[in-house]
Amino acid sequence: MVRVRFAPSPTGFLHVGGARTALFNFLFARKEKGKFILRIEDTDLERSEREYEEKLMESLRWLGLLWDEGPDVGGDHGPYRQSERVEIYREHAERLVKEGKAYYVYAYPEEIEEMREKLLSEGKAPHYSQEMFEKFDTPERRREYEEKGLRPAVFFKMPRKDYVLNDVVKGEVVFKTGAIGDFVIMRSNGLPTYNFACVVDDMLMEITHVIRGDDHLSNTLRQLALYEAFEKAPPVFAHVSTILGPDGKKLSKRHGATSVEAFRDMGYLPEALVNYLALLGWSHPEGKELLTLEELISSFSLDRLSPNPAIFDPQKLKWMNGYYLRNMPIEKLAELAKPFFEKAGIKIIDEEYFKKVLEITKERVEVLSEFPEESRFFFEDPAPVEIPEEMKEVFSQLKEELQNVRWTMEEITPVFKKVLKQHGVKPKEFYMTLRRVLTGREEGPELVNIIPLLGKEIFLRRIERSLGG
């Protein structure tokens, strides 16, 4: 059975890059009838916050990427927060020490940093080995650690040999001998480092596939060595490409919105975001681009992941969002749009009227947040607009003649034509002026849709106000 995991750190909001990784894991799990597991990697004590954990979950739920095992829903392989698994890591570290595959180090982090800088200044790679730390292991130093309640760090003895990774996306990757030196697996504060915790967890949680960003490709070398030390077969690895900003650098806040939450607040739909993200580094076998979550699940496969980085294109996402908006059932659209009207201070009194407004204006918006301003004239009178002198009589006559007309375009349009012809006014200029009188703007939905919905009373009132009556 396929078991995959998404393992974010609760150090911020859900980034679209992480969301894309979660999405691929989710799609693969669902396609293979496997399990999608959420694991919280909260060993960075300074940056991790419970509030972020909750926000991450909220965003994943909003996207529709529901997990089968996790801190909230539990499961057979818990706990699902790394901070609750510290004893497990300690035991595994001690096992490696006993087997001679790891060792204690009594150097302070600052001392190690010094060694590192020295190596770099000498033009050498900052690789460590056990001999370098022996001088710190003295009775005085040990006593010191004990008095301060410190634990020695645990370093893993990195075997000096080649490692080969057959990655699903990247193909065969060879890590040459001497690529890295020994590395920390347990810190002096008693918490594990990323690579160690990751391997222990993936092993114990019986993860079959690790689908993650290729920024961790080089970390895989350490993890392969750890699997070997534990005498366990590693999972299948698939390193997906990185999402970059327009400048080719990693996508970050300086490029604009990067979190799922920010896009949600701007009025983007989960359907659109999921669809767009899925196409960054993956393609449908037939080249289809507009795909529901269900279609993504049925067509997804790891072998159609592409290895090159992708630049995030807000314009294509916005276009896609507009498409989903326009093709959504009006009832659902109404529910989703309401919060944006409330925020804009527009009161919705008549539900049916509201739906009709959305039906007309949706042609002209691409995100939910654009609805209020685009349709404000349906709910509030715009400031009166000056009618050009040569058209005042036209509007006066229309005001009179339309009083007793049944309010449909079939009966209204002939009146327009008749009056325009009588006054020798061109349709183009008339309609533009009418548009400004009714909406206060020069652009908007089609007048043939606006007029019936506004109703006779509002139509005539706005003409009257502009006539200065």
In the region spanning residues 403 to 422, those forming contacts with RNA, defined by CB under 7 A, are: none
281 binds RNA (CB under 7 A): yes
306 binds RNA (CB under 7 A): yes
310 binds RNA (CB under 7 A): yes
Angle, nearest 10°, between helix axes 219-229 and 194-204?
Answer: 50
Binding-site annotation: residue ranges for ATP: 253
The rounded Cα 450 to chain-centroid distance in angstroms is 36
85 binds RNA (CB under 7 A): no
CA atoms of 433 and 427, how far apart (whole Å)? 10
Q: Which stretch binds RNA (CB under 7 A): 93-101, 110-118, 230-238, 385-393?
A: 110-118
Q: Which stretch binds RNA (CB under 7 A): 27-35, 55-63, 215-223, 346-354?
A: 215-223
Least distance between RNA and beta carbon 48 (Å):
8
Least distance between RNA and beta carbon 21 (Å):
11
Helix (H) / strand (E) element for 221: namely: helix 219-229
Helix (H) / strand (E) element for 339: namely: helix 330-343
Q: Which residues pair with 15 in a beta bridge?
A: 259
Tell me which residue has tokens 């893993």.
156
From the list 249, 253, 288, 332, the catalytic residue is 253
> Could you tell me which of 396, 433, 430 has the C-alpha nearest to residue 413?
430
Alpha-helical runs (H) found in 205-247 = 219-229
153 binds RNA (CB under 7 A): yes
Sign of the Cα torsion 67, 71, 76, 78 reads: positive
326 binds RNA (CB under 7 A): yes
Q: Give, as ranges, the residues between 345 and 404 that touch RNA (CB under 7 A).
A: 363-367, 370, 374
CA atoms of 158 and 179, how far apart (whole Å)? 10
Q: Which residue in the set 58, 62, 75, 108 belongs to the binding site for RNA (CB under 7 A)?
A: 108
Catalytic annotation on 253?
yes
Given a contact cutoff of 8 angstroms between Cβ atoms, the answer to whether 183 and 222 are in contact is: yes
Q: Give, as ranges, the residues between 155 and 194 that touch RNA (CB under 7 A).
A: 170-171, 173-176, 178-181, 183-184, 187-189, 191, 193-194
Q: Which residue in the set 98, 442, 457, 469 belongs to the binding site for RNA (CB under 7 A)?
A: 442
SS3 202: helix
Q: Which stretch binds RNA (CB under 7 A): 42-50, 73-81, 201-209, 328-336?
A: 42-50
Q: Which residue in the set 125, 134, 292, 423 belongs to the binding site for RNA (CB under 7 A)?
A: 125
Query: Between residues 171 and 469, which has the closer beta carbon with respect to RNA?
Result: 171
202 binds RNA (CB under 7 A): no
Q: Checking DSSP bridges between strand 153-156 and strand 102-105, what pairing results, if any? A: antiparallel
Given a contact cutoff of 8 angstroms between Cβ atoms, the answer to whether 257 and 266 are in contact is: yes
> Hey, which residues are catalytic here?
253
